[in-house]
Structure 1
Amino acid sequence: MRSLKTKIFLFFVLLLLLVQSIALWTLVKGNDAQEQQEISNRLNTAKTIFTEQFNSRRDYLAAFSETAAKDYGIKDVFEGDTRSLLFALNNHRKRIDADLAMAISADNIISAQLQVIQVNNNKTKVQKGSELGKIFKHTEWLESQEKAHLYFLDGILYQLSLSPLTVGSSTIGWLAFGFEINQELANHFLEITHLQVDFILKQDDEWLLVASSNPTADVNFAKTIVEGKTPEQYIGIGELITEFDNQPFGLAMYALRADIVEVLQKQWWQFLILAFITLLLSLASAYLIASSITKPIKRLVKQARMIAQGDYQQKIDLTDNGELGQLANEFNVMQQAVLAREKEITHRASHDPLTELPNRNILMKYLNQLIIEKSCFQLFHLNLSRLKDVNETLGHDVGDWLIQRTAERLSKISTFDLLCHLGGDEFILIIKKQDQHSIPELVNKINNSLENHCDYGGINLQLQVRIGISSFPEHSNVDKTLLQMADTALQSARKSNANYLCYDKSLDVNSVERLNLINDLKSAISDNQLELHYQPKLDLKTNIVTHAEALVRWYHPTLGMVPPDNFIHIAEQTGQINKLTQWVVSTALKQSAIWRSDGIDLNIAINISAEDLKEADFYDFIRNAITTNNVPENKVTLEVTESAVVDNPEEAIKLLQRFKDAGIKISIDDYGTGYSSLAQLKQLPVHELKIDKSFVQHLHEDEDDRIIVRSTIELAHNMGLSVVSEGIEDDFSLRWLAEHDCELGQGYYISRPKPTKDFTTWVKEQLSSKAEKG
Structure 2
Amino acid sequence: MTPVRAASGALTGTPLEPGVLAVSAVLVLLLAAAVAALIVQRVRRRRHDADARALAERLRRDAYHDALTGLLNREGFLHAAAGPLAEGGAVAVVDLVLLGAVNDTLGHARGEVFVRLAAERLGAAGAAVAVDGVAARLEGDTFAVVLPRVDGHDAHRAAETLRERLLAPYVVEGVRFEAPVVIGVAADGPWLADVPAGAERTAALLRRADVALAATRDGGAPVRCYEPSMGERAARRLRLIRGFSAAVARRDVRVDFQPVVSLGERTVIGVEALARWDHPELGLLLPDEFVPVLEATGQIGELTSFVLDEALAAARRWLDRGMRLSVAVNVAVANLGNAGFPDEVAQLLDAHRVPAELLTLELTESGVSSEREVALPVLRRLHALGCRLAVDDFGTGQSSLAHLRRLPVDQVKIDKSFVLGMGTEYGDVAVVRAIVEMGHTLGLQVVAEGVEQAAVRVALAEMGCDVAQGYLVSRPLPALGFDEWLDTLDVRQGEPGTAAGPRTLIA
> What TM-score, normalized by structure 2, do the two folds share?
0.57
Q: How far has the Cα of 1:614 moved from its partner?
A: 1.6
Q: Does 1:531 align with 2:254?
A: yes
Instruction: Report the counterpart of residue 731 of structure 1 in structure 2.
Output: 454
Q: Does 1:512 align with 2:227?
A: no
Partner Cα separation in structure 1 for residue 129 and residue 211 of structure 2: 11
Q: How far has the Cα of 1:600 moved from its partner?
A: 1.6
Residue deviations 1:267-322, cap 9 Å, x none?
Answer: xxxxxxxxxxxxxxxxxxxxxxxxxxxxxxxxxxxxxxxxxxxxxxxxxxxxxxxx
Q: Does 1:741 align with 2:464?
A: yes
Partner Cα separation in structure 2 for residue 564 and residue 556 of structure 1: 12
Q: Does 1:752 align with 2:451?
A: no
Q: How does 1:483-502 map to 2 (within 5 A)?
A: 491=213, 501=222
Instruction: Report the counterpart of residue 468 of structure 1 in structure 2.
Output: 183
Partner Cα separation in structure 1 for residue 329 and residue 505 of structure 2: 31
Q: How far has the Cα of 1:647 moved from its partner?
A: 4.8
Q: How far has the Cα of 1:487 moved from its partner?
A: 5.6
Q: How far has the Cα of 1:518 moved from its partner?
A: 1.4
Instruction: Report the counterpart of residue 544 of structure 1 in structure 2.
Output: 267
Partner Cα separation in structure 2 for residue 763 and residue 592 of structure 1: 13
Q: Does 1:614 align with 2:337?
A: yes
CA contact 1:422–1:428 (8 Å) conserved in 2: no
Q: Does 1:388 align with 2:134?
A: yes
Q: Does 1:714 align with 2:443?
A: no
Partner Cα separation in structure 1 for residue 471 and residue 319 of structure 2: 25
Alpha-carbon spacing, 1:572–1:386, altered in 2? closer, same or farther (3 Å): farther
Alpha-carbon spacing, 1:568–1:624, altered in 2? closer, same or farther (3 Å): same
Alpha-carbon spacing, 1:708–1:448, altered in 2? closer, same or farther (3 Å): closer
Q: How far has the Cα of 1:628 moved from its partner?
A: 1.4
Q: How far has the Cα of 1:544 moved from its partner?
A: 0.6
Alpha-carbon spacing, 1:573–1:634, altered in 2? closer, same or farther (3 Å): same
Q: How does 1:119-198 map to 2 (within 5 A)?
A: none
Gaps of 5+ in 1: 1-358, 361-381, 391-398, 405-420, 431-438, 450-465, 471-485
Alignment equivalent of 2:415, drawn from 692, 697, 716: 692
Q: Does 1:593 align with 2:316?
A: yes
Partner Cα separation in structure 2 for residue 761 and residue 698 of structure 1: 31
Q: How far has the Cα of 1:565 moved from its partner?
A: 1.1
CA contact 1:545–1:763 (8 Å) conserved in 2: no
CA contact 2:329–2:362 (8 Å) conserved in 1: yes
Instruction: Report the counterpart of residue 265 of structure 1 in structure 2.
Output: none
Partner Cα separation in structure 1 for residue 277 and residue 259 of structure 2: 20
Give me the identity figure in percent.
32
Partner Cα separation in structure 1 for residue 158 and residue 163 of structure 2: 14
Instruction: Report the counterpart of residue 660 of structure 1 in structure 2.
Output: 383
Partner Cα separation in structure 1 for residue 250 and residue 329 of structure 2: 22
CA contact 1:605–1:636 (8 Å) conserved in 2: yes
Q: How far has the Cα of 1:748 moved from its partner?
A: 0.7
**Greater Cα offset, 708-717 or 623-632:** 623-632
Alpha-carbon spacing, 1:389–1:444, altered in 2? closer, same or farther (3 Å): closer
Residue deviations 1:351-398, cap 9 Å, x none?
Answer: xxxxxxxx99xxxxxxxxxxxxxxxxxxxxx986564369xxxxxxxx
What is the SS of the residue equivalent to 1:634?
A: helix
Q: How far has the Cα of 1:425 moved from its partner?
A: 7.8
Partner Cα separation in structure 1 for residue 385 and residue 352 of structure 2: 16
Q: How does 1:207-226 map to 2 (within 5 A)?
A: none
Instruction: Report the counterpart of residue 680 of structure 1 in structure 2.
Output: 403
What is the SS of the residue equivalent to 2:261?
A: strand
Q: How far has the Cα of 1:557 moved from its partner?
A: 1.9
Residue deviations 1:320-364, cap 9 Å, x none?
Answer: xxxxxxxxxxxxxxxxxxxxxxxxxxxxxxxxxxxxxxx99xxxx
Residue deviations 1:385-427, cap 9 Å, x none?
Answer: 564369xxxxxxxx99x979xxxxxxxxxxxxxxxx5279824
Partner Cα separation in structure 2 for residue 426 and residue 694 of structure 1: 38
Q: How does 1:12-31 map to 2 (within 5 A)?
A: none
Partner Cα separation in structure 1 for residue 211 and residue 283 of structure 2: 30
CA contact 2:362–2:392 (8 Å) conserved in 1: yes
Instruction: Report the counterpart of residue 630 of structure 1 in structure 2.
Output: 353
- Relative contact order (alpha carbons < 8 A, sep ≥ 6): 1 or 2 greater? 2
CA contact 1:592–1:631 (8 Å) conserved in 2: yes
Partner Cα separation in structure 2 for residue 575 and residue 701 of structure 1: 40
CA contact 2:129–2:162 (8 Å) conserved in 1: no
Q: How far has the Cα of 1:444 moved from its partner?
A: 7.7
Alignment equivalent of 1:553, drawn from 255, 273, 276: 276
CA contact 2:216–2:224 (8 Å) conserved in 1: no
Q: Does 1:564 align with 2:287?
A: yes
Alignment equivalent of 1:422, drawn from 138, 147, 151: 151
Q: How far has the Cα of 1:536 moved from its partner?
A: 0.3
CA contact 1:493–1:501 (8 Å) conserved in 2: no
Instruction: Report the counterpart of residue 763 of structure 1 in structure 2.
Output: 486
CA contact 1:544–1:767 (8 Å) conserved in 2: no
Partner Cα separation in structure 2 for residue 504 and residue 717 of structure 1: 48
Partner Cα separation in structure 2 for residue 448 and residue 578 of structure 1: 35
Alpha-carbon spacing, 1:729–1:384, altered in 2? closer, same or farther (3 Å): farther
Partner Cα separation in structure 2 for residue 545 and residue 597 of structure 1: 17
> What TM-score, normalized by structure 1, do the two folds share?
0.38
Instruction: Report the counterpart of residue 305 of structure 2 in structure 1.
Output: 582
Partner Cα separation in structure 1 for residue 390 and residue 380 of structure 2: 12
Partner Cα separation in structure 1 for residue 361 and residue 182 of structure 2: 39
What is the SS of the residue equivalent to 1:615?
A: coil
Max radius of gyration: which structure?
1
Instruction: Report the counterpart of residue 91 of structure 1 in structure 2.
Output: none
Q: How far has the Cα of 1:750 moved from its partner?
A: 1.0
Q: How far has the Cα of 1:589 moved from its partner?
A: 0.4
What is the SS of the residue equivalent to 1:749?
A: coil
Q: How far has the Cα of 1:767 moved from its partner?
A: 3.6
Residue deviations 1:241-284, cap 9 Å, x none?
Answer: xxxxxxxxxxxxxxxxxxxxxxxxxxxxxxxxxxxxxxxxxxxx
Residue deviations 1:106-158, cap 9 Å, x none?
Answer: xxxxxxxxxxxxxxxxxxxxxxxxxxxxxxxxxxxxxxxxxxxxxxxxxxxxx
Gaps of 5+ in 2: 1-88, 91-127, 137-144, 169-180, 186-207, 494-503
Alpha-carbon spacing, 1:699–1:772, altered in 2? closer, same or farther (3 Å): closer
- Which ranges of 4 or more aligned residues in structure 1 deviate by more than 3 Å? 382-387, 442-449, 466-470, 486-495, 500-505, 507-510, 769-774
Instruction: Report the counterpart of residue 496 of structure 2 in structure 1.
Output: none
How many residue pairs align between the two structures? 327
Residue deviations 1:736-769, cap 9 Å, x none?
Answer: 1011111000001110000111111212322438
What is the SS of the residue equivalent to 1:626?
A: helix
CA contact 2:450–2:470 (8 Å) conserved in 1: yes
CA contact 2:212–2:230 (8 Å) conserved in 1: no
Letter in 2 for 1:692: D
